[in-house]
Amino acid sequence: MKILIVGAGRVGTSVAENLVSEHNDITVIDPEPSRLSDLQERFDLRGVVGDGSQVSAMERAGAEDADMIIACAASDAVNLVACKIARQVFNVPRRVARIRSSEIPAMPELLGENGFCVDALISPESSVTDYLTKLVEFPEALQVVDMAQGRVSVITMRVSLDGFMANHPLKDLRAMNPDVNAKVVDIMRLGRAITISPETILRPGDELLLIADTIHAHQAVHQMNRSKDQVRRVMIAGGGNIGARVARNLASEGYNVRLIEQSMERCEELATTLPGDVLVLHGNGTDESLLERENIEEMDTWMALTSDDEDNIMSSLMAKRMGAQRVIALINRQAYGELMQGSHIDIAISPSQATMSELLRYVRRGDIVGAHRLRGGLAEVLELVAHGDKKSSKVIGKRISDLDLPKGASIGAVVREHNIMISDPDVVIEPEDHVIVFVPSRDQVRQVEKLFQVSASFF
């Protein structure tokens, strides 16, 4: 796929890095030559110096035969204009814009064919906010994503020593609680994926991927890990866009939230715009005396959400040492995140991975309505729609157990109108079913896409 990326900032660089690794033809447009030089040294892509909102720059980038444009410059205006030019001048089929403003998504008339011709919006801040809110809702989890319009939850977590399923075979998950509609599709043990079967015994410390009917998600998680108490008190360091969004979301759900912000001007703004039950504190998250005064040891969750990786790491380490039950840090540099994940920092969040999960559904081929990166981007979970009939489709009319899936891949759920079918290999795929597929390696995604493609005879 030939993809144009407008903007070589933090988001654009991350998007380019992820997509070029999947053998796409990538061209990046940015006004700063130094940024493009760095990208071209690191990755197999082309850089074009220019303004992505100018026709001439688009022309030099080869927009006339591009399959997709992803406009993720720092300016909303540049991104919107770039999409409009891509559509009306060069007829680029797919157009995605990164938007910071919360007003634009609420005005769909601005985005359609009579507006800026945007097919889809992505918001890194919104993606990370949703990601963090889910982690507070599921304190046992390392990652939580929703699929099938929120009806199915995909949860990464570890088995605790006192979990009901610890030292029990997988088949006991349904036997111990037959009303829980859930399935384990993958297990990592000591850093390696293991082959699983109903007889596989879960060990404390195993990292597993659980797919569950959202209604039963909390019960299923509790079977694996019951060491966490319900979260009620949350302290956030950083009152930027993400910190403020998370504080607002959590306060609306009834959590006790304290927000630390270094800028007095920003503190005053937050105090007037956030709900009244959010306590806004002026200070720095690395200030030990401030954390002590605010009883950090009583906090169920600490979140470091500033724009500075080093500050987020240091404040999280300090909060953990001073007694915070669980610490979560926002870390932009991938190397830092991999180093800190699972150490004294319980969860390291990469904004780029959250953004990529939002983008994947538009980059993937076939009728994929949802896609999320797992295991730091190594694996994926896809939501595909089964189209066609028995003659034109390789999946319709077949049992799950008979599908030719790549090695290690598995179907976690089939969503059909009012039914969610999990952990049943005898389910037969029907037209318009939404199928949730776990793929352990990104290299195998194309095989799954081909499996669900409809033959030309159907049309």
Q: Which fold has domain 2-122?
A: Rossmann fold (3.40.50)
Query: Tell me: the pLDDT tens digits for 215-266?
Result: 999 999 988 987 656 789 999 999 999 999 999 999 999 999 999 999 999 9
Residue 366 has pLDDT above 70, yes or no: no
- Yes or no: is domain 233-353 CATH 3.40.50.720? yes
Strands of 379-385's sheet, edge to edge?
368-374, 379-385, 434-439, 410-416, 419-422
Query: Tell me: the pLDDT tens digits for 273-306?
Result: 999 899 999 999 999 999 999 999 999 999 999 9
pLDDT grade for 337, boundaries at 50, 70 and 90: low
Residue 457 has pLDDT above 70, yes or no: no
> What's the DSSP call for residue 57?
H
Beta strands at 419-422 and 379-385: parallel, antiparallel or unpaired = unpaired
Q: Domain extents for the chain?
A: 2-122, 127-224, 233-353, 356-458
Asked if 215 and 193 touch (Cβ cutoff 8 Å), the reply is no
How far is the CA of 171 from the CAs of 121, 175, 183, 197, 200, in angstroms? 42, 7, 10, 8, 8
Beta strands at 207-213 and 192-193: parallel, antiparallel or unpaired = unpaired
Nearest to 304 by CA among 289, 319, 293, 294: 319
Share of the chain above pLDDT 70, in %: 96
Query: Tell me: the pLDDT tens digits for 75-117?
Result: 999 999 999 999 999 999 999 999 988 788 878 888 989 999 9
| Tokens found for residue 160 | 């605790």
At the second CATH level, the architecture of 127-224 is: 2-Layer Sandwich (3.30)
Phi, psi of 297 (to 5 degrees): -65, -15
Residue 163 has pLDDT above 60, yes or no: yes
**The pLDDT of residue 166:** 92
C-alpha 303/C-alpha 132 separation (Å) is 9
**The pLDDT of residue 459:** 45
Residue that has been written with the tokens 């920092």 in this structure: 345
3-state DSSP call for residue 412?
A: strand
Q: Do domains 127-224 and 356-458 have the same CATH topology?
A: yes
Nearest to 136 by CA among 146, 126, 144: 144
Does pTM surpass 0.85? yes
β-sheet bridge partners, residue 143: 156
Query: Tell me: the pLDDT tens digits for 338-362?
Result: 667 666 899 988 887 777 877 887 8
Q: What is the CATH number of domain 356-458?
A: 3.30.70.1450
Q: What residues contact residue 236 under an 8 Å CB cut-off, 6+ apart?
A: 243, 246, 247, 257, 258, 259, 260, 302, 303, 305
Radius of gyration of the chain (CA): 23
